[in-house]
Structure 1
Amino acid sequence: MDTEMMLSADMKVLMNHIYEFKKGVRQMVLYTFNKRYESSVKARLDRQNIPYLTQPVGETCLNLFFGRQECLNAIQLIVTKPLNKLTPEEDFILGAMLGYDIRVQCERYCERKCRLCRQA
Protein backbone atom coordinates (compact mmCIF):
# COMPACT_ATOMS: atom_id res chain seq x y z
CA MET A 1 0.00 0.00 0.00
CA ASP A 2 1.54 3.31 -0.98
CA THR A 3 1.86 6.22 1.43
CA GLU A 4 -0.23 8.52 -0.75
CA MET A 5 -3.16 6.10 -0.53
CA MET A 6 -2.88 5.79 3.24
CA LEU A 7 -3.04 9.57 3.67
CA SER A 8 -5.84 10.26 1.24
CA ALA A 9 -9.07 11.58 2.72
CA ASP A 10 -10.86 9.75 -0.09
CA MET A 11 -9.43 6.45 1.09
CA LYS A 12 -10.51 7.19 4.65
CA VAL A 13 -14.05 7.67 3.34
CA LEU A 14 -13.81 4.31 1.58
CA MET A 15 -12.67 2.63 4.78
CA ASN A 16 -15.67 4.10 6.61
CA HIS A 17 -18.02 2.82 3.88
CA ILE A 18 -16.48 -0.66 4.18
CA TYR A 19 -16.87 -0.54 7.96
CA GLU A 20 -20.55 0.44 7.67
CA PHE A 21 -21.18 -2.29 5.09
CA LYS A 22 -19.53 -4.96 7.23
CA LYS A 23 -21.52 -3.85 10.29
CA GLY A 24 -24.78 -4.08 8.33
CA VAL A 25 -25.52 -0.35 8.36
CA ARG A 26 -25.60 -0.38 4.54
CA GLN A 27 -26.48 -3.15 2.11
CA MET A 28 -24.89 -1.30 -0.78
CA VAL A 29 -22.55 1.65 -1.20
CA LEU A 30 -21.85 4.06 -4.05
CA TYR A 31 -18.39 5.62 -3.80
CA THR A 32 -16.86 7.94 -6.41
CA PHE A 33 -13.08 8.18 -6.43
CA ASN A 34 -10.05 9.12 -8.51
CA LYS A 35 -8.93 6.40 -10.96
CA ARG A 36 -5.39 6.53 -9.60
CA TYR A 37 -6.59 4.54 -6.59
CA GLU A 38 -8.40 1.88 -8.63
CA SER A 39 -5.97 -0.99 -8.13
CA SER A 40 -5.66 -0.30 -4.40
CA VAL A 41 -9.43 0.00 -3.94
CA LYS A 42 -10.13 -3.22 -5.85
CA ALA A 43 -7.38 -5.09 -4.00
CA ARG A 44 -8.83 -4.04 -0.64
CA LEU A 45 -12.33 -5.16 -1.59
CA ASP A 46 -11.00 -8.42 -3.04
CA ARG A 47 -9.08 -9.16 0.17
CA GLN A 48 -12.28 -8.69 2.16
CA ASN A 49 -14.39 -10.72 -0.30
CA ILE A 50 -16.70 -7.77 -0.98
CA PRO A 51 -18.34 -7.87 -4.41
CA TYR A 52 -18.21 -4.66 -6.46
CA LEU A 53 -18.82 -3.04 -9.83
CA THR A 54 -17.16 0.01 -11.35
CA GLN A 55 -18.47 2.59 -13.80
CA PRO A 56 -16.36 5.31 -15.47
CA VAL A 57 -17.16 8.94 -14.60
CA GLY A 58 -15.46 11.30 -17.00
CA GLU A 59 -11.73 11.12 -17.55
CA THR A 60 -10.41 10.82 -14.02
CA CYS A 61 -13.00 9.19 -11.76
CA LEU A 62 -14.87 5.96 -11.22
CA ASN A 63 -18.13 5.10 -9.52
CA LEU A 64 -17.74 2.05 -7.33
CA PHE A 65 -20.79 0.11 -6.24
CA PHE A 66 -20.14 -2.49 -3.58
CA GLY A 67 -22.26 -4.54 -1.27
CA ARG A 68 -24.59 -7.51 -1.31
CA GLN A 69 -24.49 -9.49 -4.54
CA GLU A 70 -28.28 -9.29 -4.92
CA CYS A 71 -28.06 -5.51 -4.92
CA LEU A 72 -25.22 -5.51 -7.45
CA ASN A 73 -27.21 -7.84 -9.71
CA ALA A 74 -30.04 -5.29 -9.71
CA ILE A 75 -27.59 -2.42 -10.30
CA GLN A 76 -26.29 -4.17 -13.42
CA LEU A 77 -29.84 -4.16 -14.80
CA ILE A 78 -30.72 -0.60 -13.75
CA VAL A 79 -27.52 1.42 -14.10
CA THR A 80 -26.67 0.88 -17.76
CA LYS A 81 -25.71 4.49 -18.47
CA PRO A 82 -24.10 7.41 -16.62
CA LEU A 83 -25.96 8.30 -13.42
CA ASN A 84 -26.94 11.73 -14.73
CA LYS A 85 -28.79 9.99 -17.60
CA LEU A 86 -30.98 7.80 -15.37
CA THR A 87 -34.72 8.20 -15.67
CA PRO A 88 -36.53 9.57 -12.61
CA GLU A 89 -37.69 6.02 -11.87
CA GLU A 90 -34.19 4.55 -12.13
CA ASP A 91 -32.80 7.36 -9.98
CA PHE A 92 -35.49 6.72 -7.36
CA ILE A 93 -34.75 3.00 -7.22
CA LEU A 94 -31.01 3.61 -6.96
CA GLY A 95 -31.47 6.09 -4.12
CA ALA A 96 -33.74 3.68 -2.27
CA MET A 97 -31.23 0.85 -2.72
CA LEU A 98 -28.47 3.05 -1.34
CA GLY A 99 -30.57 3.73 1.75
CA TYR A 100 -31.19 7.40 1.10
CA ASP A 101 -34.03 9.09 2.99
CA ILE A 102 -37.15 7.80 1.24
CA ARG A 103 -39.08 11.04 1.80
CA VAL A 104 -36.31 13.02 0.10
CA GLN A 105 -36.21 10.45 -2.71
CA CYS A 106 -39.96 10.90 -3.21
CA GLU A 107 -39.56 14.69 -3.40
CA ARG A 108 -36.66 14.34 -5.84
CA TYR A 109 -38.66 11.92 -8.00
CA CYS A 110 -41.68 14.23 -8.15
CA GLU A 111 -39.53 17.26 -8.99
CA ARG A 112 -37.69 15.42 -11.77
CA LYS A 113 -40.89 13.91 -13.16
CA CYS A 114 -42.68 17.30 -13.18
CA ARG A 115 -39.68 18.92 -14.87
CA LEU A 116 -39.83 16.28 -17.62
CA CYS A 117 -43.60 16.80 -18.02
CA ARG A 118 -43.09 20.55 -18.49
CA GLN A 119 -40.42 19.93 -21.14
CA ALA A 120 -42.65 17.62 -23.18
Structure 2
Amino acid sequence: MKVLIHHIYEYRKGLRSLVMHTLPASLTEAATTKLRHFGIEYHLQQCLSGKVNIYFGKPECVAVVRRITHSRKLVEMTPEEDFMLGSMLGYGMQIQCERYLKKSGAFPVALSVQNCA
Protein backbone atom coordinates (compact mmCIF):
# COMPACT_ATOMS: atom_id res chain seq x y z
CA MET A 1 0.00 0.00 0.00
CA LYS A 2 2.98 2.34 0.41
CA VAL A 3 3.53 2.41 -3.35
CA LEU A 4 -0.18 3.15 -3.91
CA ILE A 5 0.05 6.07 -1.46
CA HIS A 6 3.07 7.36 -3.37
CA HIS A 7 1.20 7.05 -6.70
CA ILE A 8 -1.72 8.99 -5.22
CA TYR A 9 0.72 11.65 -4.01
CA GLU A 10 2.24 11.96 -7.50
CA TYR A 11 -1.20 12.21 -9.09
CA ARG A 12 -2.40 14.85 -6.64
CA LYS A 13 0.78 16.92 -7.22
CA GLY A 14 0.17 16.85 -10.98
CA LEU A 15 3.13 14.63 -11.86
CA ARG A 16 0.87 12.04 -13.50
CA SER A 17 -2.48 12.24 -15.26
CA LEU A 18 -2.97 8.47 -15.22
CA VAL A 19 -1.56 5.72 -13.00
CA MET A 20 -1.72 1.94 -13.26
CA HIS A 21 -1.13 0.20 -9.94
CA THR A 22 -1.07 -3.61 -9.64
CA LEU A 23 -1.89 -5.22 -6.31
CA PRO A 24 -3.21 -8.47 -4.85
CA ALA A 25 -6.98 -8.77 -5.29
CA SER A 26 -7.33 -9.03 -1.50
CA LEU A 27 -6.25 -5.37 -1.17
CA THR A 28 -8.69 -4.00 -3.75
CA GLU A 29 -11.25 -2.78 -1.21
CA ALA A 30 -8.65 -0.92 0.86
CA ALA A 31 -7.17 0.69 -2.26
CA THR A 32 -10.50 1.79 -3.73
CA THR A 33 -11.57 3.17 -0.34
CA LYS A 34 -8.43 5.31 -0.33
CA LEU A 35 -9.10 6.54 -3.89
CA ARG A 36 -12.74 7.36 -3.08
CA HIS A 37 -11.56 9.26 0.02
CA PHE A 38 -9.55 11.58 -2.24
CA GLY A 39 -12.29 11.75 -4.90
CA ILE A 40 -10.09 10.10 -7.53
CA GLU A 41 -11.68 8.37 -10.52
CA TYR A 42 -10.57 4.74 -11.01
CA HIS A 43 -11.12 1.60 -13.06
CA LEU A 44 -10.40 -2.00 -12.07
CA GLN A 45 -8.99 -4.63 -14.42
CA GLN A 46 -8.57 -8.27 -13.44
CA CYS A 47 -5.12 -9.77 -13.99
CA LEU A 48 -3.80 -13.26 -14.09
CA SER A 49 -2.79 -14.95 -10.82
CA GLY A 50 -5.17 -13.20 -8.42
CA LYS A 51 -4.02 -9.63 -8.98
CA VAL A 52 -5.86 -6.48 -10.03
CA ASN A 53 -4.75 -3.44 -12.01
CA ILE A 54 -6.20 -0.21 -10.71
CA TYR A 55 -6.07 2.63 -13.21
CA PHE A 56 -6.69 6.01 -11.64
CA GLY A 57 -6.32 9.64 -12.51
CA LYS A 58 -8.02 12.36 -14.52
CA PRO A 59 -11.61 11.36 -15.34
CA GLU A 60 -11.02 11.76 -19.09
CA CYS A 61 -8.00 9.45 -18.97
CA VAL A 62 -9.85 6.82 -16.94
CA ALA A 63 -12.78 7.01 -19.39
CA VAL A 64 -10.40 6.22 -22.26
CA VAL A 65 -8.94 3.28 -20.29
CA ARG A 66 -12.46 1.91 -19.78
CA ARG A 67 -13.13 2.09 -23.53
CA ILE A 68 -9.80 0.52 -24.43
CA THR A 69 -9.89 -2.36 -21.96
CA HIS A 70 -13.55 -3.39 -22.44
CA SER A 71 -13.23 -5.47 -19.22
CA ARG A 72 -10.43 -7.53 -20.80
CA LYS A 73 -7.15 -8.48 -19.20
CA LEU A 74 -4.02 -6.64 -20.30
CA VAL A 75 -2.72 -9.72 -22.15
CA GLU A 76 -5.94 -9.82 -24.23
CA MET A 77 -5.51 -6.33 -25.68
CA THR A 78 -4.45 -5.70 -29.27
CA PRO A 79 -0.95 -4.35 -29.95
CA GLU A 80 -2.51 -0.98 -30.80
CA GLU A 81 -4.51 -0.83 -27.56
CA ASP A 82 -1.44 -1.86 -25.57
CA PHE A 83 0.62 0.86 -27.28
CA MET A 84 -1.98 3.53 -26.59
CA LEU A 85 -2.32 2.54 -22.96
CA GLY A 86 1.45 2.48 -22.40
CA SER A 87 1.78 5.89 -24.02
CA MET A 88 -0.99 7.30 -21.82
CA LEU A 89 0.80 5.96 -18.75
CA GLY A 90 3.95 7.83 -19.78
CA TYR A 91 6.12 4.83 -20.57
CA GLY A 92 9.20 5.53 -22.69
CA MET A 93 8.32 5.98 -26.35
CA GLN A 94 11.19 3.86 -27.70
CA ILE A 95 10.28 0.98 -25.40
CA GLN A 96 6.61 1.31 -26.37
CA CYS A 97 7.54 1.24 -30.07
CA GLU A 98 9.69 -1.88 -29.58
CA ARG A 99 6.90 -3.54 -27.58
CA TYR A 100 4.37 -2.70 -30.31
CA LEU A 101 6.61 -4.11 -33.04
CA LYS A 102 7.13 -7.34 -31.07
CA LYS A 103 3.43 -7.77 -30.26
CA SER A 104 2.41 -7.06 -33.85
CA GLY A 105 4.93 -9.55 -35.24
CA ALA A 106 7.02 -6.94 -37.06
CA PHE A 107 10.10 -7.21 -34.84
CA PRO A 108 12.98 -7.45 -35.39
CA VAL A 109 12.95 -4.94 -38.18
CA ALA A 110 15.94 -3.68 -40.03
CA LEU A 111 16.09 -0.11 -38.87
CA SER A 112 18.08 2.10 -41.18
CA VAL A 113 18.72 5.79 -41.38
CA GLN A 114 17.44 7.41 -44.56
CA ASN A 115 19.51 10.30 -45.84
CA CYS A 116 17.62 13.19 -47.36
CA ALA A 117 18.99 14.57 -50.61
Q: TM-score, normalised by structure 1?
A: 0.82
Partner of 1:97: 88
Is 1:106 the counterpart of 2:97? The answer is yes
Q: Alignment partner for residue 20 of structure 2, among 19, 27, 30?
A: 30
Cα distance in 1 for partners of 2:88, 2:98 equals: 16
Deviations 1:2-39 (A, max 9, x none): xxxxxxxxx01101111111111111011111122122
Q: Which stretches of structure 1, 4 residues or more, deviate above 6 A after TM superposition?
A: none
2:8 alignment partner, SS class? helix
Alignment root-mean-square deviation, CA: 1.5
User: Where does structure 2 lack aligned partners over 5 or more consecutive residues?
Assistant: 108-117
CA positional deviation for 1:58? 3.4
Structure 1 gap segments, 5+ residues each: 1-10
Please name the residue that 2:65 is paired with: 75
Alignment partner, residue 7 of structure 2? 17
Code of the residue aligned with 2:54 in structure 1: it is L
- How many residues in Structure 1 have an aligned counterpart in Structure 2? 106
Q: Which residue of 2 aligns with 1:85?
A: 76
Alignment partner, residue 40 of structure 1: 30
What TM-score, normalized by structure 2, do the two folds share?
0.84
Higher helix share: 1
Deviation, 1:52, is 0.4
Greater mean alpha carbon deviation, residues 22-31 or residues 52-61: 52-61
Write the distance in 1 (CA, Å) between the matches of 2:43 and 2:20: 10
In structure 2, do the counterparts of structure 1 residues 21 and 112 end up closer, same or farther at CA, with 3 Å as the change threshold?
Answer: same
Larger radius of gyration: 2
The sequence identity of aligned pairs, in percent, is 39
CA deviations on 1:44-89 (whole Å, 9 max, x unpaired) are 1111001101112235221101000001111111112110011110
Shift of 1:107: 1.4
